[in-house]
Structures are given as structure tokens and as C-alpha cells.
Amino acid sequence: MSLIDQPTEIREGEELDITAVDQFMKAQLPELSGTPTIRQYPGGASNLTYQIDYDGRSFVLRRPPFGHKAKSAHDMLREARIMEALKPVYPYVPNIIAICDDHSVLGDDFYVMERLEGIILRQDFPEGFSLDESETRKLCTNVVDKLVDLHQVDYHAAGLDHIGKGAGYVRRQIEGWSDRFRKAHTDDVGDCEEVMQWLHEKMPEDVTTCIIHNDFRFDNVVLNPNNPFEVIGILDWEMATLGDPLMDLGNSLAYWVQADDDQFFQMLRRQPTHRPGMMTRDEVVEYYMKRSGLEVENFDFYEVYGLFRLAGIVQQIYYRFYHGQTKDKRFAGFGQAANYLEQRCKKLISQSKL
């Protein structure tokens, strides 16, 4: 069984026009021949990702979800242009092959990038992928290092001054996610008002401004199949911007389910952070601070923020399912997940010394 990440059959209702894709690809790369095979990557609940295979060559196409979507979300053109600018200074970004803003092709903006052939770790290690505890710790630190490296990129030199507003990021995020959660609220989910009030009262000033990924997780990391400790790619730059690095770390830790977490959180786990040798959330924070040179007396605010933001993302997706804007059955339990995340935030708040 191959360890290399593989696409599967396309989900119903998310098919692409093969003829349109073929014509577009051959206009960009005239050397291509034959008819492409198109399959879909099953992960992700936001943008859709497809693999396009010609004889001997593979590409990845990214497009927004079908149907209604938030006005400011799923900006494929922005994502692709950030990747183009970052590539020279942060080599883990895949090469962009083509960008399309002509909706007559596939009905929306999209872009095509090189396919990075490697291992992507999702809920657990794949069959045949075996690391002992010390090797798992080495992999874990190598991945966290890439987040530190990103935060140390000179965004002025990269020409990325324009991708975010910079200072005031913490306040904008708390106000913005509070507004988005309220607009996406459904009657069967808690209102998170207590959590939002606490975040408003406890928000600190930005520690600094840097490029942040905003969705940095193991399942957005591509590993070298011949050396699984080596990171060869970082994927999914949709939410990259200029902001506070500790907010970015808080976002990542919202997905960092460790071995001693409760059963429901384990059910939400989508990366193998529970494995023996993986750092705990506290250890990640300590390691990150040491590597980055940043300091903070109490990380509680950023951890609660990350969980609340995740609740907001989950709730926005659930809102679409609740109102029949998507039929994807994966989203049926997202309301329950939002409720759990609210309760997890409240527990952390009750224990916080902030």
C-alpha cells in the first residue's frame, strides 16, 4: 500500500467539466496530450481540491465550493498570488502553474499548482508508516519549526505588505469572529456569548506582525516519502495574512488533540498528535517560544481564541448544511461539534488565571 497521499472518486455534485479542464490545461501547457483523469481529495470542508492526471504528469486544481458562500471567503486568486510571492522566500510553497478568473471555464475562479508527491498525515499514521517515540518527536519538532520559519519571513522583502492590515489584528479577529458566529448561529447550537465576552475583556495587544498561515496543521504538511522527517510542502494558503504569530499558534493548537483528551475531542481529531512522542499543547507552546524568541506570561487567551475560532468555522459550515445550502453529509454533526467547542472554551476560561 502506497504511503503517498492519494485522491479518490469525486463526490456527487462536485464534478468538474473534463473537456473544459482539458482545454484550459493544454492552453497553458501545450505539450500535454491525451484526456485527463480527474479525482478529488476527500479532506477539507472548505475549498475543493482535485488531482488532474495526464500521462506521466500530475497537477492539483483548487476551486471554491459549489453553491452559496460568504462574500469574502474562498478567494482563489488571492491564495494563488500569495503563494507565488512566498515561494522564493519560503520554499515549502508549491509552484503555481496557472490562475483562472474566467468563470466561463469552470463557473468560478480557480488555480492549478504542481502536485507535491508525498505523505500527508491525517487522523492517524497510514498503514506501513511506523515511527518510534523518539522519531515521532523529531517529526513533530520539524513540523513546528516550519511554523516558526514562516513567522520569521521578511514580508516586506517578499512584497506581501498588502495581504493584511497588520497592527490591531487581535482586536479585528475577536470582533470579526464574534460577528461571524452570531450571523451563522442556529437554534440548536449554543450562542457562545460568555466566551465572546471573555475574549473581548482579555484581549492583549499584538505581540508583533508577521505572515501567518491561519490553518497550519499536519494534514496541510507534505512529507518526503523517502525521508518522512523532511517537510517538502505546506498546503492551503487560503487564510494566510499579516497578523499576530501567537494567534496563529492558538489556531493550530485548536486542532492539537493529545493522548489524554476526552473522548469527544478524540472523535474530532484529524491529525496524529495523540501518538507517543508527540508534544503536548503546553510543550508546543514552550518549544515555539524558545525557537521564536517571543514571550508571553499566559497562553490561555490564545488557546481559547483558537477553539472559539474553530467553533466559528464549524458553525459557518453547519449553517450551510442546516439551511440546505449543501447536502454533504459530513457536515451533519458540525452543530454538535460547535457545542462541544463552546463548552471546552468555557472550561478553559473557568480554570484561567487571566
Residue 126 lies in a domain: no
Say if residue 234's pLDDT is above 90: yes
Say if residue 20's pLDDT is above 70: yes
Query: Which pTM was predicted?
Result: 0.92
Say if residue 45's pLDDT is above 70: no
170-225, pLDDT tens digit by residue? 999 999 999 999 999 999 999 999 999 999 999 999 999 999 999 999 999 999 99
Say if residue 70's pLDDT is above 60: no
- Per-residue pLDDT, averaged over 15-33, amounts to 97
Instruction: Write the CB contacts of 174 (distance below 8 Å, at least 6 apart in sequence).
Output: 196, 199, 200, 203, 305
Instruction: Write the CB contacts of 345 (distance below 8 Å, at least 6 apart in sequence).
Output: 192, 195, 304, 307, 308, 311
pLDDT given for residue 71 in this prediction: 47
Amino acid at 111: Y
> What is the residue-averaged pLDDT of the chain?
94
Same domain, 236 and 332: yes
Same domain, 145 and 101: no
292-336, pLDDT tens digit by residue? 999 999 999 999 999 999 999 999 999 999 999 988 888 999 999
CATH of the domain at 40: 3.30.200.20
pLDDT given for residue 6 in this prediction: 87
Same domain, 274 and 326: yes
Same domain, 150 and 285: yes
Helices 334-351, 300-322: crossing angle, 10 deg rounding: 160
State whether residue 52 is helix, strand or coil. Answer: strand
Same domain, 229 and 264: yes
Check if the beta carbon of residue 334 is closer than 8 Å to that of residue 314.
yes
Percent of the chain with pLDDT over 90: 90
Say if residue 250's pLDDT is above 90: yes
> The domain containing residue 149 runs over which residues?
133-351
Q: Please identify, among 83, 114, 145, the residue that sits at the C-terminal boundary of a domain.
A: 114
Please, which pLDDT band fits residue 1 given cuts at 50, 70 and 90? very low
What is the 8-class DSSP label of residue 180? H
Check if the beta carbon of residue 64 is closer than 8 Å to that of residue 109.
yes
Same domain, 48 and 166: no
Same domain, 213 and 333: yes
Full DSSP string of 133-148 = HHHHHHHHHHHHHHHH
Inter-CA distances, 159 with 4, 89, 94, 242, Å: 34, 11, 18, 12
Same domain, 137 and 101: no
63 closest CA partner among 54, 263, 52, 53: 52
Alpha carbon distance 78, 81 (integer Å): 5
Same domain, 63 and 144: no
Give me the number of domains the chain comprises: 2
What H or E segment, with its residue span, contains residue 298? Answer: none
Please, which pLDDT band fits residue 164 given cuts at 50, 70 and 90? very high
